[in-house]
Copies of this chain bind each other. A is one copy, B any other.
Amino acid sequence: MFFASDNAGPMHPSVREALIAADTGHAVPYGDDAIMAEVRSTLREIFEAPEAAIYLVATGTAANALTLATLTQPWQTVFCTPLAHIQNDECHAPEFYTGGAKLTLVGEDDKMTPEQLRGAIDGWTRGDVHTSQRGPVALTQVTEMGRIYTLDELRAVTSVAAEHGLPCFMDGARFTNALLALDCTPAEMTWKAGIDALSFGGTKNGCAGVEAVIFFDPAHAWEFELRRKRGAHLFSKHRYLSAQMQGYLQNDAWREAARTANANAAYLAQGLRDVTGAVFLAEPQANMIFATLPRRTHQRLRAAGAVYALWGPLDGAPEESVKMRLVCDWSIGRDQIDRFIEIAKG
């Protein structure tokens, strides 16, 4: 009963098979392997972006930090939400890679509205050398609270950025989970909605460790390549990144895995609705559920071996409720979910 994160499951069979298939003979190193050429071509097709510059790195933090650094001057501020992964979970990788840029927190949780963004941008209004200079807007899709920006919401936010000439970055660690929830095309959720650069997640959705970085404007390509190498993120045996992404994109595996993960979460949410005292903190939209459960329920679940993250401190009286985050990946079996609900019901 592993609901702690979608960063801990096995490889999707399609990914594993591609990885094994690639493991033969010698391959040109450092990203010039034949599989990478195929991956690049496939992603350009998927995103309807024939000019896009596309790269692979092994971690989501690397994808985020290197891409932001390419878009941000050291004296600029990135606009993101207070719950953004880049703010809370990357140990200053964005600050490190940008050379000291600042993160300005917009809104109060995991999503920003156009009004909030406009207010934050206006907060750095002076434009003199003393203040932060305005930099890119960073959105997470699926958000850190499991919510999703609709296409209208995305466009509304990015158009505020565009008014000020600021680029927009999307942290798409759970990109495909959002894509399926919105039932739109990758282009619609990115460049057609004003996104300039994207971390396209693989690791949380069936890969071992690979994320694609996509710049819809290839002007940033060479700088990114230098930053990737300088950051020690360029793999010599790059084919093992390429092959993962190849397997991920083959046979619709990426969509199939996200579809399963989302369905698993919906199934779990459905079950939770019948659990006494369960309250959703946000309406589940993809593969993450934030909910409060009675402490006794929590204790039963933990005793039975269920693994999940608590949201906030665990203190107070035993009758109090506990906030938790429950994440479903594609690999969690329905039997695990059934068992979880059964125990939760008591």
**Contact between B236 and A7 (Cβ–Cβ < 8 Å)?**
yes
Q: How distant is A85 from chain B, measured CB to nearest CB, in Å?
A: 9
- Chain B residues, CB < 8 A from A59: 232-236
Interface membership of chain A positions 192-232, coded 1 if the CB is closer than 8 angstroms to chain B and 0 otherwise: 00000000000110001100000000000000011111111
A237 contacts partner chain B, Cβ-Cβ < 8 Å = yes
When C-beta atoms are compared, the residue in chain B nearest to A76 turns out to be: B92
Q: How distant is A208 from chain B, measured CB to nearest CB, in Å?
A: 4
When C-beta atoms are compared, the residue in chain B nearest to A99 turns out to be: B99
A178 contacts partner chain B, Cβ-Cβ < 8 Å = no
Interface membership of chain A positions 40-65, coded 1 if the CB is closer than 8 angstroms to chain B and 0 otherwise: 00000000000000000111111011
**Contact between A209 and B240 (Cβ–Cβ < 8 Å)?**
yes
**Contact between B228 and A93 (Cβ–Cβ < 8 Å)?**
no
Interface residues of A in 2-52 (CB under 8 A from B): 2, 4-5, 7-11, 16, 20, 23-30
**Contact between B99 and A96 (Cβ–Cβ < 8 Å)?**
yes
A89 contacts partner chain B, Cβ-Cβ < 8 Å = yes
Stretch at the interface among A123-131, A179-187, A262-270: A123-131
A74 contacts which of B8, B99, B130 (Cβ < 8 Å)?
B99
A7 contacts which of B29, B61, B88 (Cβ < 8 Å)?
B29
**Contact between A96 and B92 (Cβ–Cβ < 8 Å)?**
no
**Contact between A92 and B88 (Cβ–Cβ < 8 Å)?**
no
Q: How distant is A106 from chain B, measured CB to nearest CB, in Å?
A: 13
A282 contacts partner chain B, Cβ-Cβ < 8 Å = no
Known: A59-B236, A74-B99, A88-B130. 4 other contacts (CB 8 A): A75-B227, A91-B230, A96-B100, A102-B103
Binding site for B on A (CB under 8 A): 2, 4-5, 7-11, 16, 20, 23-30, 57-62, 64-66, 73-75, 88-93, 95-103, 122, 125, 129-133, 203-204, 208-209, 225-237, 240, 307, 313, 331-332
Q: Name 21 interchain pairs, CB-CB below 8 A, sorted by A.
A: A2-B26, A4-B26, A8-B236, A9-B237, A11-B23, A26-B331, A58-B235, A59-B233, A61-B232, A62-B233, A65-B232, A74-B99, A75-B92, A89-B130, A91-B129, A91-B130, A92-B102, A100-B100, A125-B313, A203-B237, A208-B240
